Amino acid sequence: MQRTGTALLPLHGGCCPRWLFEKMQRLGIAILEVIVRESGPREVLRRLSDPLWFQSLGCVVGFDWHSSGLTTTLCGALKEGLRGRERDLGLVIAGGKGRVSRNTPQEIFQAVERLAWGVEVEELVFKSRMAAKIDNAALQDGYTLYHHVFVFTRDGLWAVIQQGLNEANRLARRYHWLGEKVKDMVCEPHAAICCPAKGEALNMVAEEASLSRQVVSSLARERPERIAGEFKKILEKGVHLALPWRHEIPRTEYLNKALLKLYEVQPQNFLQVLGVEGVGPKTIRALAMVAEVAYGAPASFRDPVRYSFAHGGKDGHPYPVDRNLYQHTLEMLEKALREAKMGRSEKLEAFRRLSALAGSRTW
C-alpha cells in the first residue's frame, strides 16, 4: 500500500458557518466534476491523495489555510456535495470524523449495493480498515486517529484521507493513501512527507524494520505464556529505553488477552498480525520490545511526515470570505459544467488554457 504523504496542522476550535459549508459543497463538487470530465474519477483520487493539492483545494473553497478543521470540513463538504451524484461521477466518499468514521465499512457496503457496482466490497472494507490500523498501531508517532475517509471508484480504485491529533503539542497530522500504488502494505507505505515537526516514533512499516516484522509475526504464533514471560523479564530488568513510544508500558494482564487472540489465529505475517481484532498500539509495542531485546531485531524510530487568496478564509485570513466573489465563481463554474453537458465546452476550454498560461503544477 502506498501512502503518498502527511500534513501537520494546528488544532483549532470553532465550526464552519452553515452558509460557507453549503458553498463549499457546491464549489468543491463542481471542481471534482471538472476533473472527472477532463481526466476521469481516477484523477480525483490521485489529487485527493496529494497533501498539497488537498490543502490547496480547502483554501480555494474558503476554509482556514492552516487549521486542522480543513481536513474534516472539506471531506464533509465533498461527501455531502457528492450525495446523490455518485453514479454520475463514478465516485463514493465514505466515513468521516469521530463516530462517523466507524460507519465506514457499512457505508461502503451500502453504496456498492445501491449503485450495483461490480467491485470486491470485502477487499475495499479490508483496505479501509488496514489503512487506519497501520497509521494507528504500526506507525506510532503520537497522533491518535479521529478522522477516516475512504474514497473509491466504480472500478474499485481507492484513496484514504485520515487525521490524528496530539493533545500534548496541540497539532493534528493528516495521512494520505493512494491504492493504485500498492506494493507492500507494511513496508515503506509513504512516498512523501509534509511535516515541519518530526519526532521519535515506533515505525514498524519502515524498510529497516523488516526483521522486526518477521520476528513479531513469529512471536504472535508462540504460546502466550512464553511471550508474556519474556516481556516480564524485560520489565524487571528495566530495559525500556527513554523513547516516547515506550513510555506507556502495557500491563501484562492486558497483554495476555491479546496474545491469546493472536495464538488462536496463528497469523503468518505482520499484516495478519495487525488484522487480528483487539491487537492495537500497546500489543504491537510489547511485541516489538520482545523482538528487539530478546531476539535482537530492532524496530525503526524514523518518523515519516498560495491558494487561500482565492476567496478568503473562514477566520478572516488572509481576508474574510468575499461572498459576492464566491457566488460569482460558483455561478461561472456551474454554468460552464451545464453547457459542457449540452456539448458547449468553450468555457471549460478557457479554464484549461488559463491553467496552461499560469504554468500550474502537473498534479
Mean pLDDT of each 10-residue bin along the chain, 363 residues long: 58 73 91 90 92 83 70 94 97 97 98 96 96 92 92 96 87 88 75 54 89 96 92 75 48 80 96 94 90 87 58 54 68 72 60 50 44
What is residue 177's predicted lDDT score, i.e. its pLDDT? 92
User: Rounded to an integer, what distance in angstroms lies between the CA atom of residue 162 and that of residue 317?
Assistant: 25
pLDDT for res 309: 42
Give residue 12's pLDDT. 56
Q: Which residue has the cell 475517509?
A: 149
pLDDT at 53: 85
- Least Cα distance to 311 among 57, 8, 17, 120 occurs for 57
Task: Return the pLDDT at 62.
Answer: 76
Q: Work out the number of other CB atoms within 10 angstroms of the CB of residue 225.
A: 12
C-alpha grid cell, residue 199: 519526532
pLDDT at 299: 86
- How far apart (Å, rounded) are the C-alpha atoms in residues 140 and 150? 21
**pTM (predicted TM-score):** 0.80
Q: What is the pLDDT of residue 81?
A: 96
pLDDT score at 308: 46
Backbone angles phi, psi at 99, to 5 degrees: -65, -25
Closest of 76, 38, 29, 74 to residue 55, by C-alpha: 74
What was the pLDDT predicted at 234? Answer: 83
pLDDT at residue 235 in the model: 78
